[in-house]
Structure 1
Amino acid sequence: MRHTSLDALATFIAVARAGSVTGGSDEIGLTQSTVSAQVQALERELGYPLFERSSRGVSLTHRGRALLARVGGAVDAAAQAAAEATGLATSEHTVFLGGPAELLSLVVLPRFHEWAPREVDIRVEFGQTTGLLAKLESGELDLVVSTTQPRLRGVEFAPVGDEHFVLVVAPELAGQFRTDPDGLPIVAYDEHLPIIRRYWRSVFDRRPAPSRVPVTVPDLRAVADLAAAGVGMTVLPTYLAAPYLATGRLLDPLALEDPPLNTIYLAKRRARAGRAPAVEAVAARLAALLRP
């Protein structure tokens, strides 16, 4: 058993103590399919079954009980030692939060003291939604402010607000937009133009026409600056566009009364109530902050 991983043993112990794969997955924050696969891989490695399975759950075999008695305390001690070695011995008081750099930097983090409990340490990671949700599913993150609806097993979410979008151009390009909107270059956040395409479908009921995209940059703050410099038109969330519009650095040539919107979600792994009190506290306060 010298090659058996600590993670596999920890998964086995969680299922054994919970009495079910569902309970074990809630305990350690992994999906049921991942937990089942880890237990089955451990059984194959050991060469004998650890659980008897039934419609009511799982129960330990004789050899499973022996293994739990032998390694349970040692694995608990090893996990604690590993946490201390990486400075995370108080990880129950540390919450790992992910989200878009712009939304977190401009909306969430400036109001840090309104939603971050004093006794909780916050570790923030910026990134695109798909990658952040993958890290949430794997346990690398505890909470994700998501700009798309999560569709991952073992992850729960709640809508917490909406972001509205506005099409903007530099003042010197406003006249050209009115006469030939499809002829203007586009400044994009992503090569696939997800924000632009969503806006075009909502407002014009079609895809954007093929246009030159002189630059893509995965930060909407840089996109706003490039648009203000006259590089091309773009679409921005109103919280980011507002200061540019107020100072005249950017113009909204459409001035829609009912601009397109996108729902913001707060996502976390499913867990039993009270299992992660720090995560639950931060999630509740963030939800209150983001709701209109």
Structure 2
Amino acid sequence: MDLALLRTFVTVHRAGSLTRAAALLGLSQPAVTSQIQALERQLGRPLFLRNARGVTATTIGDELAHKVAPHLDALTEITETGLAADSVTRTVHLAGPPEFTAERALPALTPLIAQGLSIRVSFGPAEELLTGLAAGHHDLTVTAVRPRGGLLTSTPLCDEEHVLVAAPRWAARLGGPAVLQARGVRALDPVPLVEVHESLPLITRYWSAVFDAKPSASAAVIASDLRAVLGCVAAGAGLAVLPRYLCADALGSGEVVALLDPPVPPLRTYFLAVRTGTLGLPHIARAHEWLLRTAVGW
């Protein structure tokens, strides 16, 4: 049986779409369709059912994928290991949210540069980066959105604690955590909101988890980078919800103050996502393992 046909079949099975598989393989969609049809003729059984959103594997298709995919991945690993021995450097394309990637993920990977690894970094929103990962533009993607389907595989990386912060003068005006706890969320109404997006994603999540309420006002300041949000809050622009790792130094120096200390602080989980099968490539596997190992201390 032709290995090229099996490789195309496994890619379609993982992608759930002829179009996405064609992009990953660098082929046209008609070429992918033709290869799948050729394999189905050889087997005498249909491997996929076509639908409006892509393709769904038949029982025979699932069985074949489970049998051949590990062997194809192993062959890729053998091939790439051989190539790696002849290459001075290998490049990992890392993607993720700008703050977390810049402050945590990228510094964690820098020791691998001395081992011959090159790193290229892209920033953007989760859905856009996951689409890029699926299309082969990235090798590793840090995301707070857990991908679904067989094309991408994700592993929990770490939990991020969120803190409600403001400048000291706003904290003094509000009367401290005890007063705020007693008065509830309405005590925060006089304080302007600072966020990364008009939809108030961090504040809405915090309000829901801690106050069982929704924000009643729009943001006074929108800055698409959380580091800019922190700078605005430290300057007295208002309150914000920030990851603790990002504002820990400002909290320690007194530039900003935690307005509340809830018994169960809101958390957000980050995942490390890859295309299924690519952990057979040594340079990607090394970066993936290094990030997971380092994240234990986060």
1:31-61 per-position Cα deviation (integer Å, ceiling 9, x unaligned): 1413687489425999xx6443444859xxx
Per-residue deviation, 1:182: 2.5
Specify the SS of the correspondent of 2:122: strand
Report what 2:194 is aligned to. 187
Corresponding residue to 2:291 among 262, 271, 286: 286
Specify the SS of the correspondent of 1:190: coil
Corresponding residue to 1:248 among 249, 254, 266: 254
Corresponding residue to 2:211 among 204, 217, 220: 204
Specify the SS of the correspondent of 2:162: strand
Tell me, in whole angstroms, the C-alpha distance in 2 between the residues paired with 1:111 and 1:44.
39
Q: 1:249 to 1:97 in 2, by over 3 A?
A: same
133-142 vs 210-219, which deviates more? 210-219
Tell me, in whole angstroms, the C-alpha distance in 2 between the residues paired with 1:91 and 1:203.
52
Instruction: Kindly indicate whether the alpha-carbon contact (under 8 Å) linking 2:18 and 2:32 is maintained by their aligned counterparts in 1.
Output: no
Tell me, in whole angstroms, the C-alpha distance in 2 between the residues paired with 1:51 and 1:231.
63
Q: 1:216 to 1:153 in 2, by over 3 A?
A: farther
Tell me, in whole angstroms, the C-alpha distance in 2 between the residues paired with 1:163 and 1:97.
19
Tell me, in whole angstroms, the C-alpha distance in 2 between the residues paired with 1:184 and 1:222.
18
Tell me, in whole angstroms, the C-alpha distance in 1 between the residues paired with 2:252 and 2:195.
22
Instruction: Kindly indicate whether the alpha-carbon contact (under 8 Å) linking 2:141 and 2:272 is maintained by their aligned counterparts in 1.
Output: yes
- Structure 1 residue runs of 5 or longer lacking an equivalent are 1-14, 59-88
TM superposition score normalised by structure 2: 0.71
Tell me, in whole angstroms, the C-alpha distance in 1 between the residues paired with 2:200 and 2:245.
20
Instruction: Kindly indicate whether the alpha-carbon contact (under 8 Å) linking 1:184 and 1:212 is maintained by their aligned counterparts in 2.
Output: no
Instruction: Kindly indicate whether the alpha-carbon contact (under 8 Å) linking 1:93 and 1:278 is maintained by their aligned counterparts in 2.
Output: yes
Once the two structures are superposed, the pairs formed by residues 36-47 of structure 1 within 5 Å of their partners are 38=22, 41-42=29-30
Report what 1:262 is aligned to. 268
Instruction: Kindly indicate whether the alpha-carbon contact (under 8 Å) linking 2:89 and 2:118 is maintained by their aligned counterparts in 1.
Output: no
Q: How many residue pairs were aligned?
A: 241
Report what 1:31 is aligned to. 15
1:73-107 per-position Cα deviation (integer Å, ceiling 9, x unaligned): xxxxxxxxxxxxxxxx9799211000111112212
Tell me, in whole angstroms, the C-alpha distance in 2 between the residues paired with 1:268 and 1:91.
24
1:107-151 per-position Cα deviation (integer Å, ceiling 9, x unaligned): 223333345572221111122222111111111111101122223
The residue type paired with residue 211 of structure 2 is F
Instruction: Kindly indicate whether the alpha-carbon contact (under 8 Å) linking 1:184 and 1:211 is maintained by their aligned counterparts in 2.
Output: no
Per-residue deviation, 1:218: 1.0
Specify the SS of the correspondent of 2:224: coil
Instruction: Kindly indicate whether the alpha-carbon contact (under 8 Å) linking 2:162 and 2:242 is maintained by their aligned counterparts in 1.
Output: yes
Q: 1:234 to 1:91 in 2, by over 3 A?
A: farther
